[in-house]
Amino acid sequence: MANAKAKVDAVIVGMGWTGAILAKELTDAGLHVVVLERGADRDTQPDFAYPKVVDELEGSVHRRYLQSLGQETVTVRHNLTSTAVPYRQMGSFKPGTGVGGAGSHWSGCHFRALPEDFKLRSNVEQRYGKSFIPSDMSIQDFPVSYEDLEPHFDHFEYVCGTSGKAGIILGAKQAGGNPFEGSRSREFPLGPNPNYLGAEMFYGAAREMGWDPYPIPASNASAPYVNPYGCQMGPCNACGFCSDYGCLNYSKASPNISILPVLRQRKNFELRTHAQVLKVNLDSDGKKATGVTYLDAQGREVEQQADLVLLCAFSLYNVHLMLLSGIGKPYDPQTGQGTIGRNYSYQNLNRVVLFFDKNVQANQFIGIGGAGTTMDNLNGNQLDNGKAGFVGGGIIWARQPGAGPVRGINVPPGTPNWGTAWKQAASDSFRHSFYFEVQGACMSYQQHYLSLDPTYKDAFGRPLLRMTFDWHDNEVKASQFLVSKAMEMSKILNPTALAGDAKKPGEHYNITKYQSTHTCGGAIMGSDPKTSALNRYLQSWDVHNVFAIGANAFPQNNGYNPTGMVGALAYWSAKAIREQYLKNPGPLVQA
Amino acid sequence: MSDDDAIPARREFLRKSLTLIPVVTLASTGLGAQAFAQTPGDKPAAAAVPMPAGDYTPSFFTPQEWAFVVAACDRLIPADHVGPGAVELGVPEFLDRHLQTPYANGAIWYMQGPFIEAPAEFGYQGRLNLRELIRIGIKAMDASCQKQFAGKVFAELSHGDQETLLKAAEGGKLELDGISSKTFFSNLLNEVRNGYFADPSYGGNKHMGAWKMIGYPGMRADYMDWITVRDKPYPLPPVDLSGKRG
């Protein structure tokens, strides 16, 4: 090894939300922490400064704030027998890079999972019988409960200045919030953001359907705020540049504005950017990590030794690093043996667009990333899955993260793609249409998993991660059911035209169309080392000083955005490291 | 779509454009007098090639490519009663400049082989970057035109013929040498739209013409006072990245 850096207490791979949370918690505990970030350093000034940041061509075409697929990507196939091909152009999902990671270009939807989401398999079995779950569906209970995570959900919301309205506080129902949520220990740090037109109309239509609409919890500050770390946020000015963009206004919570201002002051914290981690190094018997090897900005291999290795990259790349490093046994879908790559899941996102005449001022260019209106009447235990005929629920929402014409203008069905008719439709629709979305859960299956690709390599010569995934009948049924409900609700509002995109039977996963960046699973947490990569503290069952923190830990995905859960799991894991692991390094759960 | 020629504004625009062709277009496209000499000037069906905005001289496109791009832009987003066309808003200039960026050179695309044909759900799996896709596509499209229309290139065809060809390409029904007409068309249309709607600093959307047409306030990025206003249209004109007001 040409370059070896002095050993540190902990090395963290990735400077997004989970890396920032773990770095904060472990430097609080007095550890010397080095974070290796593959991308560039980024901060509100100068990287997200107005007006440079509100450039649609740069943000949404050149994708300045996202990962370049030129260096690293994944390959995708629909089933075990076909050949995977590369995800060559950004489409279905959008991993971030650079300081802040996807946490700098997210929208801000900040949910907690429902208590029943944590015990999905046992809950479904109890309600509908074991045979209701398709034989290839490999869903599992989380090895933690809502109650375990509640303090961490709460803390993360306070770090993010999440704006919303509680539905249940200490067991007591609150008017205006989600009546079906898990009990909160207190109100949101900030009240809900104002409603734009679509969110307001959603209230009326949802109530007419007999549902219980409530404000989407959004980490887009509705008022000035100082978080528990002393980091300040300004009220969101609805600029309309959230998803794909860094926040120009210190309004959208991000690692950059919510945690890093503190970390950057600390002597026991060191951030190295343009540091591409190639693998985790293990000792001779493979039971303990000795550190990581990375390429520095110039491309020189550097070894960083550490007592603790925390994988805090985007979920897919945490799994990639585990597979490349020989941490745990790769999952084999034929035999069901092995754990790394198991239970990859996604999000079942569908859209309904409503078009109106020129008197309806929808103004889609106005946007508050996470804010809007949603409802839980078809999610969790509110949905009669037996009657609906599928496992997992979902939410319908009116959300408006901000639209501009380069990002695309929705036009009524049947409109040509060019020429005068298209121009007319685009001009008529731009300010007078909005959309509702159905965000459905996505189950995990024996045949959907992550592995190393046998053919394609990244820019560093490593095999790409291969994703085997397609829409299962269960998710197609869920899409049809939830979209039909959204269409029914939309008709109440008398749009001049309505477009819905429910998945059709036999429809395959399309990687070209943006759906959701909620890629989940692949290195899941569980209570059995035979069927999970991580224990309940997100610690590798196989290499005890490696923790893999992120949505990779979800055994399946629920109907919500994952960030609230990811943040809570990061604090939960950090607490276990601080209070248990550091005193007595070793497995925190006996296999 | 060629019915638009009947609209007064459109007629006026084309009249001006036609008037200027001998002076400017031949010089700036460099298409050469002989190319136009082959087109009988009195043939009413022959395409009127409008004049691109400004005095931009292409540095990426060859004269023949430039003529194609101008003609295609004029068909994809024509000038009409709805609003300005792609040509007058400088979209050809945008394309000429955009295709010289790292993006068009494949900077953020995964460009390594092997290149395997895959179902449409997997998107573009070819080995050409955007710059090559457009350049090779134009050449193939012009070659196809020359075969079908007695030596005439796309830019020399009537609006009706151009539209028929573009529709065929859009549906993947036009057989081109070496490239899928559907892939070429979808990339071309994407870029034309990008140029039409992107900030004017990139060469298209001159004077924020496209933003004014759809009512986009551009880069204002501050709507705190308008989130809950329902009874009147957003009142302010657009601003661009340089701070100019439309």
HEC string for A358-374: CCCCCCCCCECCCCEEE
What per-residue confidence (pLDDT) applies to B53? 62
Q: Answer yes or no: do A88 and B216 touch at CB < 8 A.
A: no
Look at A423 and B83 and tell me if their CB atoms are within 8 Å.
yes
Which backbone phi and psi does A200 adopt, to 5 degrees? -70, -45
Q: A525 or B53: whose pLDDT is higher?
A: A525
Residues 6+ apart with CB under 8 A from A394: A348, A378, A379, A438, A439, A440, A441, A478, A482, A559
Alpha-helix residue ranges (DSSP H) falling in A337-408 = 385-388
Q: Provide the CA A276 distance to its chain's centre, in angstroms.
A: 22
Please name the member of B110, B215, B230 whose beta carbon is closest to the beta carbon of A70: B110
- B153 in a structural domain: yes
Considering only residues 31 to 90 of chain A, which have any Cβ-Cβ distance to chain B shorter than 8 Å? Answer: 50-52, 54-57, 61-63, 66, 68-70, 73, 76, 78, 83, 85-90
* Cβ contact A149:A345 at 8 Å: no
Q: Which helix (H) or strand (E) holds A473?
A: helix A473-491
| Secondary structure percentages of chain B, helix, strand, coil, to 5 | 50, 0, 50
- Say if B57 falls within a structural domain: yes
The CATH class of the A1-161+221-233+251-328+521-591 domain is: alpha beta
Per-window interface: A 83-142 vs B, CB < 8 A: 83, 85-91
Q: Are strands A168-169 and A301-311 parallel, antiparallel or unpaired?
A: unpaired
Domain that holds residue B166: 2-214
Partner residues linked to A304 by β-bridges = A5, A292
Query: Closest-CA residue in chain B for A223?
Result: B224
Whole-number Å distance between alpha carbons of A308 and A321: 15
Instruction: Determine whether the interchain pair B122/A511 forms a contact, defined as Cβ–Cβ distance below 8 Å.
Output: yes
pLDDT for residue B50: 63
Tell me which chain B residue has its CA closest to the CA of residue A428. B214
Mutate to test the interface with A, among B121, B213, B226 (most CBs of A within 10 A): B121
Kindly state whether residue B232 falls inside one of the protein's structural domains.
no
According to DSSP, the β-strands at A342-345 and A348-355 are unpaired
Place of tokens 């075409």: A61
Find, in chain A, the residue whose alpha carbon is nearest to that of B82.
A424
| Residues of chain B found within 8 Å of residue A366, distances taken between Cβ atoms | 223, 226-227
* Cross-chain Cβ contact A419/B78 below 8 Å: yes
Query: Look-up: residue for tokens 């933690």?
Result: A144
Domain-by-domain residue ranges, chain A?
Answer: 1-161+221-233+251-328+521-591
Q: Which residues of A touch B80 (CB under 8 A)?
A: 420, 423
Q: Beta-carbon neighbour count of residue B237 at 10 Å?
A: 14
Question: How far is the C-alpha of A516 from the C-alpha of A498, rounded, in Å?
Answer: 22
Residue positions of A annotated with a catalytic role: 518
Number of domains in chain B: 1
- Residue A591 has a pLDDT of 82
User: What is the identity of the amino acid at A292?
Assistant: V
Distances (CA, A) of A163 to A235, A252, A284, A518, B141: 10, 11, 49, 21, 54
Q: Is residue B34 part of a domain?
A: yes
The C-alpha of A569 sits at a distance from chain B's nearest C-alpha, in angstroms, of 32
In a domain, B233, yes or no: no
When CB atoms are compared, the residue of B215, B219, B228 closest to A51 is B219
Closest Cα in chain B, distance from residue A236 (Å): 8
**Is the Cβ pair A365, B217 closer than 8 Å?**
yes
Distance between CA atoms of B41 and B22, rounded to whole angstroms? 12
Helix (H) or strand (E) holding B189: helix B181-197
Tokens at A204, concatenated: 């009326």
Strands A497-500 and A348-355: antiparallel
Please name the member of A62, A237, A406 whose beta carbon is closest to the beta carbon of B103.
A62
SS (H, E, C) A133-154: CCCCECCCCCCCCHHHHHHHHH
Cβ–Cβ under 8 Å, residues A541 and A526: no
**DSSP letter for each residue of A510-538:** -TTS---S--EEES-B-S-TTT-SB-TTS
Q: Is the dihedral of CA A283, A286, A292, A293 positive or negative?
A: positive
Total residues belonging to chain B: 246
Reading chain A (591 residues) residue by residue, the pLDDT tens digits are: 569 999 999 999 999 999 999 999 999 999 999 999 999 999 999 999 999 999 999 999 999 999 999 999 999 999 999 999 999 999 999 999 999 999 999 999 999 999 999 999 999 999 999 999 999 999 999 999 999 999 999 999 999 999 999 999 999 999 999 999 999 999 999 999 999 999 999 999 999 999 999 999 999 999 999 999 999 999 999 999 999 999 999 999 999 999 999 999 999 999 999 999 999 999 999 999 999 999 999 999 999 999 999 999 999 999 999 999 999 999 999 999 999 999 999 999 999 999 999 999 999 999 999 999 999 999 999 999 999 999 999 999 999 999 999 999 999 999 999 999 999 999 999 999 999 999 999 999 999 999 999 999 999 999 999 999 999 999 999 999 999 999 999 999 999 999 999 999 999 999 999 999 999 999 999 999 999 999 999 999 999 999 999 999 999 999 999 999 999 999 999 999 999 999 999 999 998
| A51 chain-B contacts, CB cut-off 8 A | 219, 221, 241, 243
Report whether pLDDT(B239) > 90: yes
The strand pairing partners of A396, in sequence order, are A375, A438
Enter the DSSP assignment of B218.
B
B224 and A237: CB-CB below 8 Å? yes
Interchain pair B233, A431: CB under 8 A = yes
Question: Chains A, B: CB contacts under 8 A, how many?
Answer: 176
Tell me the pairing of strands A3-13 and A33-36: parallel
For residue B191, the SS3 value is helix
Give the bridge partners for A12, in sequence order.
Answer: A35, A310
Q: Which among B211, B222, B233 has the least Cβ separation from residue A239?
A: B222
d(CA A287, CA B227): 56
Distance from CA of B189 to the nearest CA of A (A): 8
Residue B77 is given by DSSP the state S
Query: Cis link prior to B217 (omega < 30° from 0)?
Result: no
Nearest Cα residue in chain B from A54: B219
d(CA B36, CA A167): 73
Interface test with A, best of B100, B163, B201, B214 (most A CBs within 10 A): B214
Mutate one of A66, A85, A249, A466 to test the B interface: name it (highest B CB count within 10 A).
Answer: A85
SS3 A177: coil
Burial degree of A382 (CB within 10 A; 0-12, 13-18, 19+): middle
Report ipTM (2 d.p.).
0.96
Q: What is the pLDDT of residue B33?
A: 38
In the chain, the amino acid numbered B232 is: K
Q: What is the rounded distance in angstroms from the CA atom of residue B198 to the CA atom of residue B204?
A: 7
- Measure CB to CB from residue A363 to each of B83, B221, B226 and give the nearest one: B226
The upper half-sphere exposure of residue B146, i.e. CA atoms within 13 Å in the direction of its Cβ, equals 13
Number of other residues whose CB lies within 10 A of the CB of residue A368 = 34
Which pLDDT does position B55 carry in this prediction?
82
Whole-angstrom distance, CA of residue A305 vs CA of residue B84: 62
- Give the pLDDT band of residue B235 (cuts 50, 70, 90): very high
Q: Which residues contact A135 (CB under 8 A, 6 or more apart)?
A: none
For testing contact with chain B, the best of A90, A420, A453, A466 (most B CBs within 10 A) = A420
Instruction: Find tokens 């009546």 and name the residue.
Output: A179
pLDDT, position B47: 53
Closest partner residue to A54 (CB to CB) among B107, B197, B221 is B221
Give B232's DSSP letter.
S
Q: How confident is the model at residue B37 (pLDDT cuts 50, 70, 90)?
A: very low
Chain B: residue whose CA lies nearest to A239: B221
Chain B residue with minimum CA distance to A430:
B214
CA distances from A199 to A360, A436, B190 (A): 13, 9, 30
Among the ranges given (A149-158, B37-46, B194-203, B215-224), the one the predictor scored with the smallest mean pLDDT: B37-46
pTM assigned to the model: 0.94
Residues of B within 8 A of A196 (CB-CB) are 227-228
Nearest-by-CA chain B residue for A52:
B241
- For residue B127, the SS3 value is coil
* A552, A516 contact by CB (below 8 A): no
Comparing CB atoms, the residue among A62, A248, A420 nearest residue B80 is A420
Residue B30 has pLDDT above 50, yes or no: no
Q: Which of A68, A237, A427 sits opposite B213 (nearest CB)?
A: A427
CA B189 to each of CA A418, A587, B134, B196, B206: distance values in angstroms, whole numbers, following the listed order: 8, 56, 10, 10, 18
Does residue B180 belong to any structural domain of this protein? yes
- Using only C-alpha atoms, what is the Rg of chain A? 23
Note whether B227 contacts A195, CB cutoff 8 Å. yes
Q: Which residues in chain A touch residue B231, judged by CB atoms under 8 angstroms apart?
A: 361
Note whether residue B188 is domain-resident: yes
Task: Mean pLDDT check: name the lowest of A406-415, A576-585, B51-60, B134-143.
Answer: B51-60
